[in-house]
Every structure is written in structure tokens, then in C-alpha cells.
Amino acid sequence: MTDWVLIVDDEAMIRENLKAYLEDEGWRVAAFESVAPALGWLRNGDPCRVCIMDMRLPDMDGNSAIRTLRQIYPDLEFLIHTGSSGYSLPEDLRAMGLDDSRVYHKPLADMAPLAAAARRLAMREDSP
Amino acid sequence: MSAPSSSSTPPIPAVPRRRGWSRSFYWGLALAVVIGAATVTVLDPLPYYETLLDHWFDPARWEPEVFTAMLHYILWLLVWLGVVAVAALLWSWLLRRQVTQRTRQLLRELHERQQVEVALRESEARFRDVTEAASDWIWEMNERLRFTHLSERFYALTGIAPHHVLGRARWEIGAADSAADLERWRQHRELLEQHLPFRDFVYQTRLSGNHNAGRYLKVSGKPIYDVQGRFLGYRGTGTDITEQIRAETALRESELRLRRIIDLVPHMIFAKDRNGRFLLANSATAKAIGVTVDDLVQHPHPIVHSVAEETERMLADDREVIDSGIPKLIAEETFTDHAGQTRTLQTIKIPFIEPGLNETAVLGVAIDITEQRRAKEEVARMRLYLKNIIDSMPSVLIGVDPWGYITVLNQPAEQAGGMSWEAAQGRFFGDVFPQLEGQFEQVRQAIRLGRPIKTPRMTLDIQGELHYADVMVYPLMADSASGAVIRMDDITARVRIESMMVQTEKMLSVGGLAAGMAHEINNPLGAILQGSQNILRRVAPDMPQNRAVADAIGIDLDQLHRYLEQRQVLRFLEGIREAGARAAKIVADMLSFSRRSESRFALVNLEEMLETVLRLAASDYDLKKKYDFKRIAIERDYDPALRFVSCDKTEIEQVILNLLKNAAQAMAEEGTPAPVITLRTRREPEHALIEVVDNGPGMDDKTLKRVFEPFFTTKDVGAGTGLGLSVSYFIVTEQHNGRLSVLSKPGQGARFSIRLPLSREAPP
């Protein structure tokens, strides 16, 4: 199991809090405010299997970012952490195997479920 | 009839010649013979006789004794003559006596005969009088059947001249227009030729005098024979019955006309006597009973009409009319006709004296009003039907005439006016409905302009409560009755819903705003909540990472924790976290109002969904503090016919959860001793019904009216946002095209009913 989690969120405090919580849970966390640096890190950095993606990002929207990243890293799994309540998964993302259980609405009063989901995804990635 | 002249002495009739002699004559003759014989014997004349003869015829023998003999002979002759004289005298006396007697007898006979003749004449005259009185004339025919005699009266009556009749046969003066006439004449002629008597032969004369038409004559006759039994002809009487025939014809025609008239009348006309026997009936009556007129007349009612109960009733009516002598109108009575169909009759029965019977009978005219009655019933049924229709309208409907007087009220109007239709009829509508008094101008205008006049959203003060009503005044354009109908709809509830919807709309825009701002709001909220969580976690003494860092910088984590506790830092942090959570919830609720571009409708197993919601409710985080859901008995009343419902599962879950929570809270607050929540599903024709019923404190009317209003809450400030039910209402009505309603009374629990369309149209 790789213990890297990638976080893309433009809200610094969200990013920092998630990072802090997951680090406390034993993860190594890479957090970026936009897609471009995240791509750069992925290109150079350690292998990462789980990405927590915000939807409203400065350089592109989360859905497109997922499509782009999935294309380059087919093994990367996504959890969506969005502040827009009306968010629903586009069909093509569903076709990639994402479902409503991957969507987490802000604000998260408790980050434990999100961390657990990330762990499940990392474990699953190992099992096949 | 004897004439006075007959009493005078009639002239003495000639004595009839007699044949033979009377008895006394023979007696006298016999006596004379006896005396003569005796004398002869005594005198013995014979010797004288011989002497005489000798003397005379023998002159020689003339002797004196001859003279003596002659004397003797003369004496003998004289004796004879004396005897004859005495006999003659005696005979004459006898004869005279006989003649006297005979004359007397004859006179007596004569007188008697005269009297007989007078009587005969009188009788004859009487007979003639009688005959002539019984008939108009007497006629006679000879053996060739030709008229030989006719009384004067015949000519006077018929106007026919004698020379047209005398010497002719009857058939020569009679008319024969038809075959039947010819046959009659033939029979009559045959009869006459056979010399048979006949009576009352009626014929019409061909000849006429001053009259245009022939006269009708009725004749009777008998053949006459002489002593030898030879046929001499006919004798008879005749009567002119023209007038009688005409009268009879006229009567017959009149009767026929009457018959035709009553037969033409479609109503039943009949007359019955006291015993119920039909004296008269027209064909309509006969037809209704199913017999012919002839069969009906003279038959008693019960024989021809078999429905005993009806017959009895009708006969009782007949008798009543006959006994009272007063006409009776039977407005409606049933009558079963021959086909077994029950008809309704309107009958008038009138008493009358039947001519010839001299007894009161009853004349009846019955009109079949079955159709009218049916029509009347139909009208009544229709009237009731229309009344039911207008009564079932929720609107207050007031019918008024052009002057504003009430003609019709429907039931809601009766309730609103507190007065029944009957009582309100004819009263000015403004008196019964003071709040509508101002509408009189609209009534007049509507009638004048011929179009409805609307007064929308009129405010009314009903028992101190503000009500809204739409008032429409429709002109009535029926050809006979003009007027108007005032329709008032209490739209208070609608106005309230509308205002609620306005608020909901506001919320929607707020929701829209919130949706736009959600990201911006949720991010800081996320920072607050996540930050609080991280802080709490990172000051916790039991976390190895914390301990490692604390050791590295040389502080005692346990002391720090005690410090934070004592300074209530941890409580403040918890407060921050709770406040953040509440803010997050408000935002989430408000976001619910935003119309989602994409609702995820799917067929959902209703029972499974309800069970899920029940589990959610039982483990609800917020509510655990206030009540123990496990204390509440849950009753499940699921309709096996209703399994799948098309809906957005999470939304409906939210709605049901909300209802469950409200029910649980209300019951917990009120301390309901044995709290029960019933979950009920029913398949309705168009809807799936989901009910959440509790036995809690219920709601009063005022609460009930506002229960779906946004931000309306009965909970303590801070305990609820007042958005739960309005969001539920929004989800059910707007997003699912369904209905959400509530039934409740204080102390009787509450029943919330969700109705979701079974065959869902495209969701909005």
C-alpha cells in the first residue's frame, strides 16, 4: 500500500485541516491549491492511489480534472469533496466507476468517514 | 160509442112471411073433423044422398019423400056449415090470438135487433175510432192485391193523390234503393201472394206529394175471405212513421256522433252504476282494460279488471260519489292495464242520473298522466340532482332576482348565512349576508351588461377572523327569469397557501442565492468545523502524535489538557463546532429550496425505504438528546398492493424522517404516555399514500393553518429552524407533483399524508 493521498482544494484551511487529519491518521499527504501543480507533483513524485478533489478550482473544474488525471493515471481513485450542494456526478464519471458514495459535501463536521473511505480505496487498490 | 139518435123507436119492420101453420090451427081442424064425423054418423046422410042422387038423375023417382030428403040434406049441409062456421070462428079466434102474440114477439125482436144494431154500429164506430187512432189510415186491397180503398187520412198525410195509389199494388208505390230493400219487397210480395197476414211492414214511398222525400209508412194487414172461404183481398191499417224514422235516425246519428266523439277522446270516459257495472265506456277505456267496448258495457268492473286492490279502490270511489252526490277529483291513482303496466290516472268522477234507470250513477273521466308524472318525477329528480350539484359545490351560491331578493341558496350558502333556503327565500340578500351587501351594485351591473362581474380577494370579517373571498356575480340569462347568481369562494386557505408559496418563492430565491454562495459559505464552515475537529484531536492527551510533539518541546500534555478544561477552552471549541454544524444545517436546508436541475427519480421499494428511515430516526444524533425513539411503539400498516413508488429516494426519506422526528419531538415534549407512531401506506387510484400518524398532542387550527409555512415553528428558539415541514412540503408538491396534507385536532394526534403520483409525469 502506498500511503500517499493527493488533495486538490483551493481553500487553504480546508486543505490544511484535511492534511493535518489524514497525517494524524498515518497518511502522507500532498496538497495543492490547483490542478496544475498537482499534475506536476504526480509526474515527479511518489506513486499515489487516492485523490481528494474539490470541484471549484482556479484553473479548471473538478470533473475535468478527474477526467484528465484518470486518463494519465488510470489507477488513481477519487473522492469528491465539494462545497456546492447541487453537485451531482456526471454520467462519464459514473462510467469510470465513481458513485454517490464518493461524494462528500462541505462542510464536513467529522472527517473520519472521508478518511475511512480513502483507506478503503487504498486497500482495494492493493487487493486485486 | 152510441149516438143519441139510436134511442128513438125504429120503424116497424115488415112481418116476415111464414111457412106452414101454427099448432092451434091443426087442433081446430081436427076438432072440426071429429064433430063432422059425429054428425054424419048421427044423421047418416048417405041414404039422403042416394035418394037425392036417384031423384035428380032419375026423374021418375020424384017423390014427396024426396022433399023431405032434400030437407034432410039441407039440414045436413047446414049442420056441416055450422060446424065449419064454429070451427072457423074458433080458428079465427085462435089465429087472432096467435097473431097478437106473434106481433108482440116480433115487436120485441125488432126492438132487440134495433138495439143490437145500434150497439153494433157503436162498436163499429168505436172499432173504427180505435183503429184510426192506432193507425193513421185503413186500406183495402182486392184479390189482385191492388188498392181499392184508403182512408182520407192517407192522402192528407202522405200528400199522394188517390189516382196514384188506387188500382196499384203496394210495391208500385214503394221505393227500393238497395238490394236489401229489394229483398224485403220480394218477401213482402211473396207473403201477400200466399195470402198471409203481416204486421209492421215498413217501406218508403216512391211517390211523394208536396214532400220531397218519400214517406216512411208502416202497414199491417190481414187477408179477407168471403163465407165460401174465397180470398177477397187484404184489409189493414197503415201509419206514417216518417217523423218517427227521422227522429230515430237523428237520434241514432246523434248517438253515433257522441260515440265517435267519446271514442276519439284519448282519455278514458265511462259510466258505472252503483254495482260497478259499466253503463258506458269509450274505446280508450276498453283499450286500457284490454277488452272491446261491447264486452265492457253491462259488465261489472271486477269481472273485466282483475287487479283486485285497484278495483276495490275505484269502486269505493264510485260509491262515495254516488252516495254523496258530489264530484270527486282523484289527483293520482294507479291503474294496471291489460299489459300489466302500471299507469297513473287523474280521474274525475261525477254523479249523474242515468236516464231510464232513475238511479244515480257515476260518470268518470280518467286521464293517463303516467308520462306527465314521469316527467314530473324526472323534473323533481333533476331538481334534486341539480340541488345536490349546487349543494356539493364548495362555493357559496346565492341566486337573486334583479332586485336582490334571494331565490336560491346552496348548502354552503345556508351555512354561511345561518339560514335555510326556505327561510331566506324572498329576503334581500344583503340582510342575510351583510358582508355581501356591497355586491348589489355588481348584481345590477352584471344583469345590465350580461356578463360576470368579479370582485377578487374581498376581505371579510367572519367572527373576528380575517377571511378572503373571491366574489363573482353571474347574470342569469334564462328567458323567463332574469337575475343573478352570487358566487363566493372562501379563498382564505388559498391566500394563506399563496402567501406561504410567496414565502417559499422567497426562500427559493434565497435558496438560489444560497446555492450560489454555498461554496463560499461551506468552505469557511468547513474550515471552522474541520479546524475544531483537528484542534480537539490535537490537544487530546491520548494521541501518540500529540504526545511525541509535546515530549519533543518539553511540555506536559496532561497538564495542558487540564488547563484547557479548566479554562473551558474545550467547551468553547465544542461550541464553535456546534455553531458551525448548525450553520451548515441551515445552509443545507436552504439549499433544499433550490430547484435541482436533476432529480434522481427511481422506482423505490417503499417498505424498504420506510424501514431505512425508521433506523435513521432511531439513531438520529441530534434528537437522541431529547427523546428516546426506542420508547415509541412503531406500528406498520403497509398495503401489500403498493410496493414501488417512483420518487427521489433521499428527498422522500428526508421528508419522512422529518415527519417522524416532529412526531417524536411533539410526543416527547408533551409526555404522551404510550407514544405510538403508525406508518401506513395505501394504494389509491392515482396516488401512493404514505401516512405518518402519531397519538401526540395534536395541533390547533391556527397551528394547522400555518404548519407548512417556512420559519414557522412551535419548538423552542434554537430547537428547530422552522424549515423542516416547509421543505418537506416543497419536496412533495413541487418536486414530486404530489400532495402533503395534515389532519389534526388538539389532543387527538396528527396525521400527515403524503400522496405521490403513481404514474409520474415528467418532474419539474
B734 vs B235, which has greater pLDDT? B235
A88 contacts on B by Cβ (under 8 Å): 596, 598, 600
pLDDT tens for A65-101 read: 999 999 999 889 999 998 877 788 898 899 988 988 8
pLDDT average, residue stretch B480-507: 77
pLDDT tens for B639-662 read: 888 888 888 888 888 889 889 888
- Report the 10 Å Cβ neighbour count for B448: 11
Q: What's the pLDDT score for residue B512?
A: 65
Answer whether residue B357 shows pLDDT above 90: no
Q: What's the pLDDT score for residue B213?
A: 64
Nearest to B522 among A20, A21, A83 (CB): A83
A90 contacts on B by Cβ (under 8 Å): none
Residue B703 CA to residue B708 CA, distance in Å, equals 9
Answer whether residue B5 shows pLDDT above 60: no
Distance from the Cα of residue B60 to its chain's centroid: 154
Q: Say yes or no for a CB contact (<8 Å) between B537 and A24.
A: yes
Q: Say yes or no for a CB contact (<8 Å) between B518 and A84.
A: yes
Q: If one looks up domain B394-485 in CATH, what number appears?
A: 3.30.450.20
Q: Say yes or no for a CB contact (<8 Å) between A107 and B526.
A: yes
pLDDT average, residue stretch B590-609: 71
Residue B586 CA to residue B722 CA, distance in Å, equals 10
- Report the 10 Å Cβ neighbour count for B661: 21
Nearest to A83 among B518, B543, B581 (CB): B518
Q: What's the pLDDT score for residue B447?
A: 86
pLDDT average, residue stretch B508-536: 80
pLDDT tens for B384-438 read: 898 899 889 888 999 998 888 998 899 989 988 888 888 989 899 888 888 888 8
With bands split at pLDDT 50, 70 and 90, how would you rate the model's confidence at B490? Answer: confident
Q: What's the pLDDT score for residue B715?
A: 66
Distance from CA of B709 to the nearest CA of A (A): 23
Tell me how many residue pairs between chain A and chain B have CB atoms under 8 A apart: 91
Answer whether residue A30 shows pLDDT above 80: yes
Nearest to A14 among B530, B543, B581 (CB): B530
Strands B396-400 and B328-336: unpaired
Q: What's the pLDDT score for residue B762?
A: 37
Residue B303 CA to residue B317 CA, distance in Å, equals 17
Q: What's the pLDDT score for residue B383?
A: 87
Q: Say yes or no for a CB contact (<8 Å) between B527 and A85.
A: no
Provide the angle, in degrees to the nearest 10, between the axes of the packed helices B492-539 and B569-592.
Answer: 140
B518 contacts on A by Cβ (under 8 Å): 83-86
Q: Does B577 touch chain A (CB under 8 A)?
A: yes
User: Cα dist. B362→B305, B337, B355, B365, B555 in Å?
Assistant: 17, 21, 12, 10, 133
B519 contacts on A by Cβ (under 8 Å): 55-56, 82-84, 106
Q: What's the pLDDT score for residue B290?
A: 85
Residue B50 CA to residue B54 CA, distance in Å, equals 6
Q: In which element (H, E) is residue A10 found?
A: none
Residue closest to B709 by CA, chosen among B692, B728, B694: B728
With bands split at pLDDT 50, 70 and 90, how would you rate the model's confidence at A127? Answer: very low
Answer whether residue A50 shows pLDDT above 90: yes
B718: left (phi over 0), alpha (psi -120 to 50) or beta: left
Residue type, B280: L
pLDDT average, residue stretch B681-685: 90
pLDDT tens for B7-50 read: 444 455 555 555 556 676 677 778 877 877 777 677 666 666 66
Q: What's the pLDDT score for residue B623?
A: 46
B6 vs B294, which has greater pLDDT? B294
With bands split at pLDDT 50, 70 and 90, how would you rate the model's confidence at B513? Answer: low
Q: Say yes or no for a CB contact (<8 Å) between B533 and A88.
A: no
The partner residues of B348 in beta bridges, in order of sequence, read B329, B365
Distance from CA of A21 to the nearest CA of B (A): 6
Answer whether residue B553 shows pLDDT above 90: yes
Q: How many CA atoms lie within 13 A of B249 on its CB side?
A: 7
Nearest to B526 among A24, A55, A108 (CB): A108
Q: What's the pLDDT score for residue B505?
A: 67
Q: Pick the residue of A7, A16, A17 with the most B CBs within 10 A to test the interface with B by mutation.
A: A17
Residue of B nearest to A88 (CA): B598
Distance from CA of A68 to the nearest CA of B (A): 23
Residue B470 CA to residue B729 CA, distance in Å, equals 26
Answer whether residue B310 shows pLDDT above 80: yes
Instruction: Name the least confident of A28-37, B125-134, B205-214, B446-455.
Output: B205-214
With bands split at pLDDT 50, 70 and 90, how would you rate the model's confidence at B62? Answer: low
* Per-residue b or e along B696-709, where b marks 16 or more CB atoms closer than 10 Å to that residue's CB: bbbbeeeebbbbbb
Which cell is B286 given? 276498453
Q: If one looks up domain B596-757 in CATH, what number appears?
A: 3.30.565.10
Residue B537 CA to residue A22 CA, distance in Å, equals 12
Answer whether residue B464 shows pLDDT above 50: yes
Q: What's the pLDDT score for residue A8?
A: 94
Q: What's the pLDDT score for residue B550?
A: 92
Question: Per CATH, which fold does B135-247 belong to?
Answer: Beta-Lactamase (3.30.450)
Q: What is the ipTM of this complex?
A: 0.88
pLDDT tens for B99-120 read: 999 899 999 999 999 999 888 8
Q: What's the pLDDT score for residue B64?
A: 65
Distance from CA of A16 to the nearest CA of B (A): 9
Question: Per CATH, which fold does B265-374 belong to?
Answer: Beta-Lactamase (3.30.450)
Residues B491 and B395: beta-carbon distance below 8 Å: no
Residue closest to B140 by CA, chosen among B234, B47, B280: B234
Q: Does B598 touch chain A (CB under 8 A)?
A: yes
Residue type, A103: V
Class of domain A4-126 (CATH, top level): alpha beta
Query: What are the residue ranges spanned by the domains of chain A?
Result: 4-126
From chain B residues 522-541, the ones with a CB under 8 A of any chain A CB are 522-531, 533-534, 537-538
Q: What's the pLDDT score for residue B755?
A: 92
Residues B589 and B627: beta-carbon distance below 8 Å: no
Residue closest to B525 by CA, chosen among B581, B475, B467: B581
DSSP assignment letter at B674: S
* Per-residue b or e along B577-600, where b marks 16 or more CB atoms closer than 10 Å to that residue's CB: beebbebbeebbbbbbbbebeebe
Q: Say yes or no for a CB contact (<8 Å) between A86 and B577.
A: no
Distance from CA of B515 to the nearest CA of A (A): 7
A14 contacts on B by Cβ (under 8 Å): 523, 526-527, 530
Answer whether residue A29 shows pLDDT above 50: yes
B147 vs B620, which has greater pLDDT? B147
Q: What's the pLDDT score for residue B280?
A: 86
Answer whether residue B496 shows pLDDT above 90: no
Tell me: cis bond preceding A113? Omega within 30 of 0 counts.
no
Residue B425 CA to residue B63 CA, distance in Å, equals 179
| B35 CB burial (10 A radius; 0-12, 13-18, 19+) | middle
Residues B694 and B748: beta-carbon distance below 8 Å: no
Residue of A nearest to B587 (CA): A85
Per-chain mean pLDDT for chain B: 82
Distance from CA of B762 to the nearest CA of A (A): 19
The partner residues of B736 in beta bridges, in order of sequence, read none
Residues above pLDDT 90, as percent of chain A: 50
Provide the angle, in degrees to the nearest 10, between the axes of the packed helices B492-539 and B557-566.
Answer: 150
Answer whether residue A31 shows pLDDT above 70: yes
Residues above pLDDT 90, as percent of chain B: 17
Answer whether residue B676 shows pLDDT above 60: yes
